[in-house]
Amino acid sequence: WPGNVRELENALEYAVALGRGQTVQVEDLPPEIRSPDFRDRGAAGARAERAESTRRVPPASSEPPDPEEAPIRAALERNLWNRS
What is the rounded (10 degree) CA torsion for 47, 52, 56, 60? 50
Q: Is the pLDDT of residue 28 over 60?
A: yes
Among 11-15, 33-37, 51-55, 75-79, whose mean pLDDT is lowest?
51-55
Burial status of residue 12 (CB atoms within 10 A of its CB: 0-12, 13-18, 19 or more): middle
Residues 6 or more apart from 20 whose CB is under 8 A from it? 28
pLDDT on residue 64: 73
pLDDT at 60: 62
Q: What pLDDT, on the 0 to 100 scale, is given for residue 54? A: 53
